[in-house]
Amino acid sequence: SAATVSLYDMTASWFDAVPASAPSYSGNGTDNPKARWGDPATNAGKSGYDFKIATQPINYVVPPNSPNQVLGTFTHLNNPIFAPSITSIKLKLTAKLSIDNVFQDTLDFVYDFSHWETDNGANPCANGGTNGVGVNVNGCADRVIATWNASSETFFVGLEEFTLNVTGFSTTADGANPFTSFWTKEQATNDAFLLARVMYKKDVLPPNEVPTPATLPLAALALAGVFATRRMRATKA
């Protein structure tokens, strides 16, 4: 039967950037962490990422896989900088989780952000558009993609194993018209809503990973209808 999964008391942290020496961090462990990098080319300052968690609790109804919900607001400060820039960084979301108002556990969900610092002077630009037009008006736009990381923890609803999967971005607060590649304008503050849904873990495994039957806790085997949580083996940041 359907259950309501609620996330609350959430905090977030940026970590594990590549290259590691590029960013500085502030606000980690709060609802609004920031990462900054690069040598500023103007008085606009460094480039960077912000993440602001949405109003809590965030509720998802499962099974099956839940609809998208806004997890928070992602911001790319795309300022003119000299190296170093990043190519990737991780975002960890720590949340208390309850099922039908019964507290289960505090879990960590981790997401990879792939950052493409494109050639500003190219024409056509990396996104296929014309330099100086549209999102490329100030030079070629950069690209951000967010994906689920396998170190994310999981939980059970009955005998089914779930996780919180990031599914893309939206420019509207209702999460309409989601997209996976966020092309961000140069010399601008670029905001988008980060979307997530509670999904069966088997549905979010990397394509090259062969799913295997989950090892269920003995309590879940004995009480098939009881909600339980389990942590995946993971190295926490």
Condensed to tens digits (0 to 9), the pLDDT of residues 148-188 reads 999 999 999 999 999 999 999 999 999 999 999 999 999 99
Rounded CA-CA distance 70/172 in Å is 9
Q: Are 38 and 52 in contact (CB under 8 A)?
A: no
- The DSSP result for 47-86, as a single string, is EEEEEEEPSS-EEEEESSPPPPEEEEEEEEEE--EESP--
The residues with which 24 forms a beta bridge, in sequence order, are 36
Asked if the peptide bond before residue 124 counts as cis, ω within 30 degrees of 0, the response is yes
Rounded CA-CA distance 151/227 in Å is 22
pLDDT-based confidence at residue 84 (cuts at 50, 70, 90) = confident
Rounded CA-CA distance 25/85 in Å is 14
For 56-159, list the strands marked E by DSSP.
58-62, 69-78, 81-82, 88-99, 102-116, 142-148, 154-157
89-137 pLDDT per residue, tens = 999 999 999 999 999 999 999 999 999 999 999 999 999 999 999 999 9
pTM for this predicted structure:
0.86
Which pLDDT value is given to residue 180? 96
Which pLDDT value is given to residue 21? 87
